[in-house]
Each structure stands twice: as structure tokens, then as C-alpha cells.
Structure 1
Amino acid sequence: MFVVTLIAAGKLTDEVVREAIDRLASTGHDVGAPHWIDEHDAADIYFQGSLVSARKELAHIDHPTLDIVIQPQGDRAKKLIIADMDSTMIRCECIDELADYAGLKPQIAAITERAMKGELDFRAALAERVGLLGGMAASFVEECRRERVELTPGARTLIQTMKSKGARAVLVSGGFMSFAGPIGDAIGFDRMIANELEIVDGKLSGKVIEPVVDADAKLATLKAEAEALHISLAETLAVGDGANDIPMITSAGLGIAYHPHPAAAAAADAAIRHHDLTALLWAQGYARRDWVLG
């Protein structure tokens, strides 16, 4: 049994729900009656058939704010979330904002964009970008975090709600611990993992302290955390936006690409393009009355 979750906050109509049912039925799926999670916000449709076929068919629904998540019904409420930080839990790329302080944002942002698309090796791109920041006063890092970083809407509500249901939350970032530590604490993560910038005489040396947190590290964290909790990967959720998130997204029980680059969207079980992070609560079947508002 599978479940389709249609999400269009305030704009989900009976007609859209009926179109989804008709599309599934016309392509040979055995479809049950729909269920509103929150009326006009999110609805579930349960069906039996092909997950791949359903995803392909429902992608043809023409709606300006519709996000669709299709997944197995079992293990829907996840016990572990592994989340990316930059452009996922926060609204910016920290290294690009640091580059702005150094007057290097265009050069560094271009490298970031190519790395997130999967056009550049992440480790090499990180080393190149951090190298350009060599000589920056370490105090600028804290100043940048305070002045430039905004939490993504829904971040605290997502994490606090999942934790209230007994889930564990881990923030794992290819960015920097000087950002991830305070940001993770503010959102409510149980653990934060990120790269450490080397500081010498109060300035950035232009190097990252090994080991580097990259795509492999993110995947290893997902597996290690699931093992420590004695749960299967089917009971996990991973969310991110870029190419270095793909291994963890494809290995989690539910892999979500959040306002993603194309490579991540293509690899994920579902892409959230229109809504904030609370969409991941509807995807798990949680109605607004169950949310812990952040």
C-alpha cells in the first residue's frame, strides 16, 4: 500500500484531489477514498499499484503551488531526520555570505552553484572556496552568522514536532561548525556535524580541518544514527537541496529535495518546491493540531 500526499496550503481543492484519483485509477491503480489531513492544505490518497507509475502520472497535474509526496504507507512517521543546513534549514549559503565580507562573493558563489549542481567535486570546491577566504578575521564568522543567517520558515516547527513524537534530529552540513552549532541549537537538533575552519592567530588560514564533511560523511551519518537507534533506513527521513545530499537522500526511507537543484530533485523521492519545511510534517501524516509551533 502506498500513500499520495497532496500539499497546496490554502489552495488544495476537491477538484485537484479528484484529478489525482482519476489519474491513478486510469493508469491501473487500485485507489481508496481521499482523506483530508488539513482541509484545503493537504490530503492523502491511499492506493495499491506501482510507485514509479504513480509518481510519473501525478507529475502531470497542472497546479501552481502543488507539492506531491508519494511513499509506502508503512513507516511513514519517521524516527530519525538527517538534514542539510545551507539553503535547507537556513535561507543562505554561509560560505557565500562570508565571501561577501571579503569582497569575493561573485567568485565563490559561482563555485558553490556548480558544486551544488554536481558539476564540481565537493571536496575540491570546498578547498578552493575556503582558500580564497584565507586571511579573513575569525571574528567576521560570528558577525556574519548574526547578521546574515535566517532560519528557513518551518524549520523549528518541523524539528520540534518530530522530536515531540520521539524522533531524533541530526544536522549534517558541508558548511561550517561555527554556523551549524548555534543554528542547530536554535532549531532544536540533537546533534550537529559540520566542517571546522582552521584559525591561526585570529584569522582564517584558508584551510578546513580534516576530516571533511562531504556527501560520503552525510550518508555515513545517516547509517550510523539509524544503527544506533536500532531502526531500519525505512524509518528515516533525509532532506537537502544539492548534489552532495544525494547519497543520503537516496538511502533514506523518505528522501526529500527541498527547493532543490535539478540533480537533487531527480534523485529524491519527492521535491518540495512551493512550501516551507512544514510540508514534511504533512508528508508524515501530521495535521496542524499535532504541530509544535516554532
Structure 2
Amino acid sequence: FKVNFTDPYICIMTTLSQTKEIFRRADAVCFDVDSTVIREEGIDELAKFCGVGDAVTEMTRKAMGGSVTFKTALTERLSIIRCSREQVNKLITDHPPQLTAGIKELVDTLHQRSVKVFLVSGGFRCIVEHVATQLNIPLHHVYANRLKFYFNGEFAGFDETQPTSESNGKGKVISMLKEKHGFKNVVMIGDGATDLEACPPANAFIGFGGNVVRQQVKERSLWYITSFRELLKELEKI
């Protein structure tokens, strides 16, 4: 069996060793953010901050498990939260997102090897940009959802034109990145169903369970890790 590393639209995950080889040869790595790059789910933290945590956490569980469409879950959760611009800014100031152990070293190592790193998130751009800055990831490498507010700062919904607001949205972003940059080997890393379904067009998927284990993702991932140090060790083999 020969692995086709050149076809930009085929995700080949025949064996664990081949998945690892695609990762070692990647020219771009896309990370999910919530419960992957950071320890928490940003929308759940925002809900707690706004006093509606329990209702929203249950919706997040359904969305990550794949039992409802992502856009449906996002719309329903935001209709419960109805956060103001002031609340979002205060959340970021008072409870900044906490990086997962090892992610800074991993991103630094990928950058040193001239691998392009992207954050592709179903979360909110205002939070994800804060994370990108901590990791020295250019803001134009961030793909996430945009909250909308009225002039008085009250909640006005979200930008439904963003690909990350839909199921299969992360795959659409990866297809666009391949077309735009000519990437041959793109790896998607994440904890949820929306990350898993991005392969294809990603050439490989790595499931991450360092913060939360989602059984469906664990069972369907050829390479499932619980620490980013496992990826650092793999890069050391090059």
C-alpha cells in the first residue's frame, strides 16, 4: 500500500504509522481551540459568566457529540446567553482562557520548522484572537465565529456567513487553505466531532483528549493523544 501524500482532497488514515508520517511531513497544522488549545470551552465559560451555565453546557455536550447540527446548537446556546459586548470583554479580562500544557512549546516547534499553524474554531473570534496572540499565531491565521452587537453593546446575534458557524465548516476552511496556499499535507487536531469531520479534506486527523474525552472521537481516531508532548516527541524523530 502506498500513501498518497500529494492529493489535497484525500484523507488517508490507514494506519497509525502513516498518520504519524503525515504529521511529521505537514506543511500546515490546524488546531481546534476550545478544550484543545485551551483547557475550557469558551462558550461554556461565557454562559457561566452570564449566569446560564448549566443550560448551555448541556447544549455544548450535544453539539460536540454530533447529535445536533453545529449551527443549531450555536444558535440555541447564544439565544440563552445573550451576552453584551461589555460582558464578553469583562470575561476575557477577568477570566482569560487558559492554555493547555505543552501547546506553547508545540506551536513554537512547528513555527521553527516553518510549518504554518492555524486556529480553526467554532468558538468566538474575540476570545480566539486572544489565544492566538499568546501563541504568536498571526491573526489572519484565525478562523472563528464573530459575535454581533448593536451600537449600545447589546447582543445582536452572530455572523452566519462564517464557515465555522456550520457543520463541516472546518473542512471548508481547510479546503480553502489548500486552494489558497497550495498545502499538500494538512493535519487537523481537536477534541470534537466537528474536528473529526474535517478529515477529509484534511490529510490526517489527530484526536486530543487531554482536557475532555469524547468517546465517539476517541473510537474513530487512529491517533488519539492526551498530551501535546506526544506530538513534540514525534517531531523530535525528524
TM bin (shorter chain) = 0.7 to 0.9
More strand per residue: 1
Long gaps (5+) in structure 2: 3-12
TM-score, structure 2 as length reference: 0.83
Instruction: Work out which structure has the larger RCO, using CA pairs closer than 8 Å and 6 or more positions apart in sequence.
Output: 2
- The one-letter amino acid paired with 1:231 is F
CA contact (8 A) 2:19 2:204 kept: no
Deviation for aligned residue 1:182? 1.5
Q: Size of the alignment, in residue pairs?
A: 218
Check if 1:225 corresponds to 2:177. yes
Q: How does 1:32-51 map to 2 (within 5 A)?
A: none
CA contact (8 A) 2:170 2:195 kept: yes
Cα deviation code 1:76-128 (max 9, x no counterpart): 33110011110011000111111112211000001001110111111101000
TM-score by length of 1: 0.68
Contact 1:249 1:268 in 2 (8 A): no
> Unaligned stretches of 5+ in structure 1?
3-50, 56-68
Please list, as runs of the form range in 1=range in 2, the aligned pairs for 1:104-183 lying within 5 A after superposition: 104-134=52-82, 136-148=83-95, 149-183=97-131
User: C-alpha separation between the residues in 2 aligned to 1:168 and 1:154?
Assistant: 18
Structure number with the higher helix fraction is 2
Q: Distance in 2 between matches of 1:106 and 1:82?
A: 30
Deviations 1:167-218 (A, max 9, x none): 111101101011011111211223101111111111223x111214134221
CA-based RMSD: 2.2
Tell me, yes or no, if the aligned pair for 2:69 and 2:167 is still in contact at 8 Å.
Answer: no
- How far apart in 2 are the matches of 1:208 and 1:198? 5
| CA 271–228 in structure 1, closer or farther in 2 if over 3 Å, else same | same
CA contact (8 A) 2:171 2:200 kept: no
Q: Distance in 1 between matches of 2:31 and 2:41?
A: 15
Aligned equivalents of 1:255, 1:183: Cα separation in 2 = 22
Distance in structure 1 (CA, Å) of the matches to 2:222 and 2:112: 25
Match of 2:46 among 66, 81, 98: 98
